[in-house]
Structure 1
Amino acid sequence: MMICRPIVRRVIAAAALLASVHAWANGLPVANDNEAATRAADITRDYALSKDRTECLFFDTADKGSYFLVRVRENHSQACGGEPGVSPVLFFMKIRKRDGHIVTTAYDGEHYRPLKPHHQD
């Protein structure tokens, strides 16, 4: 059976793209709550998971043993707008400690899914 070379090239290119996205979002261990919050803020901004500016979001972390659970909430303030004293939850992230692998509920609000590939401008 002979495989067409253009198809093989496309498969290799697609695999390389997925690997690079995976390597960027993963690969680095996360040692503490502060690192988890920073990683969540970077991912939220870089993957456009929220329309809010990063400074208008809260990143609450909880140590769950093998991973950090990050609750992403709106920061209602004079600078960011919104009802004072109210901070609705937008979505959650799970960040695995050993390698930084991330899954999130940002896409549908209910199910944890891996990050979708994104394009940097």
Structure 2
Amino acid sequence: MRVILLSLLLLNAAHVFAACPPPLKPVSNPRQAQEVAQSAIQECRLSRLPPACVRLFVQSAPAFWLVDVREQHDAQCGGDPDTAPRLFSLQIWRDGRVLSDAASMDGSFLPLTRAAS
């Protein structure tokens, strides 16, 4: 039963990633990284939360921007306002590639790829 469930999860994750277009241009600053992350979250359906209930924390690394995606807890979104649980992270590479650990079982980052036409 576990093998079947794991297979279904992996097939579902592959389908989600196959439907996502990557950004088309290089990313040179944190604001652009945030915009790419917001687009990837919506277009790739990485979160079921409304955009107002997701917070992005952008950090610079030498070759990419690391974006931690966390739940926003407030009166509108609910939850304990003293917490912001991490949902997943995105690597927004300076050359425009986007990787995510959203569907990873072991925390590794997987590329978001363009759907085949």
Deviation (angstroms), 1:93: 0.6
Q: Which residue of 2 aligns with 1:103?
A: 99
TM-score of the pair, normalised by structure 1: 0.72
After superposition, residues 1-121 of structure 1 pair within 5 angstroms as: 24-98=21-95, 100-108=96-104, 110-115=107-112
Cα RMSD (Å): 2.2
- Quick one: distance in 1 between partners of 2:26 and 2:113? 20
Q: Deviation of residue 104 (structure 1)?
A: 0.4
> How many residue pairs are counted as aligned between the two chains?
98
TM-superposed deviation, 1:117: 5.3
Aligned equivalents of 1:71 and 1:112: distance in 2?
13
2-side partners of 1:68 and 1:47: how far apart? Answer: 18
- For normalisation by structure 2, the TM-score amounts to 0.75
